[in-house]
């Protein structure tokens, strides 16, 4: 892939990522945030005021969804375009890259977070199913099967083990494997240029509006007349059996 094409793809990927971020934030409901987050943890952190608490609630929600959205809108399209991969039809496997002598099946993750034994076994099974369905074809065309768990960032370059039947590659090792370019992982960052700064300004404007609205609603419903946070009422709303109706 030439650098101009890569720049264009990265620009488009960032636009799609921020479009999803803004849509998710715009659709975010006050009650949804309060119901899904841990009031015990926020109280334990000693948060002293409504503004800080609302900021933490919003940050927690956005950060929990950003990782998956970024993988979908940035890593996946770039992986497919840069490697000329085909989208896999099998569940649990994202892309297929064929070379003159190999058939690489890739399960793409954002980062190399540790898999538990059940997750490793499940991915092993999915790769085995793909290989099994292709065994006769691969034998005929004289290609070998290469199962890869690829991660967009991190430092991992591990061959299969007795427990994990697939390669695990992350960061530079992964992007070099599928592109042949040892600096590709750096180019993905460099070619962002100032696009994130432009998109962030629009996102921050929406963030500020949502922040102000949530501060208003929280103060009305979960603060006393002196502005103190009513933690017991917040906990009851989050975890109590009795339903509490909120004012708007």
pLDDT in tens, the chain (248 residues): 899 999 999 999 999 999 999 999 999 999 988 998 899 999 999 998 999 999 999 998 888 889 999 999 999 999 999 999 999 888 889 999 999 999 999 999 999 886 788 999 999 999 999 999 888 999 999 999 999 999 999 999 999 999 999 999 999 999 999 999 999 999 999 999 999 999 999 999 999 999 999 999 999 999 999 999 999 999 999 999 988 888 88
Give me the residue spans of the domains in the chain: 1-82+194-248, 84-193
Q: What pLDDT score does 230 carry?
A: 95
Q: Round to whole Å and give the CA distance between 76 and 93.
A: 12
Q: Round to whole Å and give the CA distance between 127 and 106.
A: 9
Question: Collapsing DSSP states into helix, strand and coil, what is residue 183?
Answer: coil
Q: Look at domain 84-193 and name its CATH class.
A: alpha beta
Q: What pLDDT score does 89 carry?
A: 81
Residue 21: its H or E element: helix 3-26
Q: What pLDDT score does 198 carry?
A: 96
The strand order across the sheet containing 156-158 reads 86-87, 95-98, 102-109, 144-151, 167-170, 156-158
Q: Look at domain 1-82+194-248 and name its CATH class.
A: mainly alpha
Q: Round to whole Å and give the CA distance between 57 and 211.
A: 10
Strand partners, 15: none
Q: What pLDDT score does 145 carry?
A: 95
Cβ-contact 110, 75 below 8 angstroms: yes
Q: Round to whole Å and give the CA distance between 93 and 204.
A: 35
Helices 3-26 and 50-70, axial angle in degrees (round to 10): 140
Question: Collapsing DSSP states into helix, strand and coil, what is residue 65?
Answer: helix
> For residue 73, with 0-12 CB atoms within 10 Å meaning exposed, 13-18 middle and 19 or more buried, which class applies?
buried
Cβ-contact 20, 62 below 8 angstroms: no
Tell which residue, 104, 75, 94, 74, has the closest CA to residue 175.
Answer: 75
Q: What pLDDT score does 164 carry?
A: 94
Q: Round to whole Å and give the CA distance between 132 and 239.
A: 48
């Amino acid at each position: 892939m030439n650098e101009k094409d890569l720049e264009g793809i990265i620009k488009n990927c960032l636009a799609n990522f921020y479009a999803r971020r803004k849509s998710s934030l715009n659709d975010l409901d006050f009650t949804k945030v309060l119901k899904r987050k841990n009031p015990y943890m926020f109280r334990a952190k000693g948060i002293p005021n409504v503004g800080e608490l609302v900021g933490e609630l919003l940050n927690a929600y956005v950060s929990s969804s950003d990782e998956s959205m970024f993988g979908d809108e940035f890593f996946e399209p770039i992986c497919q375009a840069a490697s000329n991969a085909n989208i896999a039809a099998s569940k649990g496997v994202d892309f297929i890259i064929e070379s003159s002598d190999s058939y690489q099946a890739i399960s793409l993750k954002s980062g190399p977070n540790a898999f538990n034994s059940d997750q490793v076994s499940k991915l092993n099974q999915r790769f085995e199913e793909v290989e099994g369905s292709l065994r006769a074809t691969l034998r005929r065309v004289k290609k070998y099967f290469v199962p890869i768990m690829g991660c967009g960032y991190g430092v991992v370059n591990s061959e299969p083990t007795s427990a994990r039947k697939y390669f695990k590659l992350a960061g530079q090792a992964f992007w070099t494997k599928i592109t042949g370019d040892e600096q590709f992982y750096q180019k993905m960052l460099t070619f962002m240029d100032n696009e994130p700064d432009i998109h962030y300004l629009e996102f921050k404007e929406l963030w500020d509006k949502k922040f102000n609205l949530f501060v208003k609603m929280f103060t009305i419903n979960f603060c006393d007349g002196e502005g103190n946070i009513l933690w017991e009422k917040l906990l009851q709303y989050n975890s109590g059996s009795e339903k509490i109706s909120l004012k708007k």
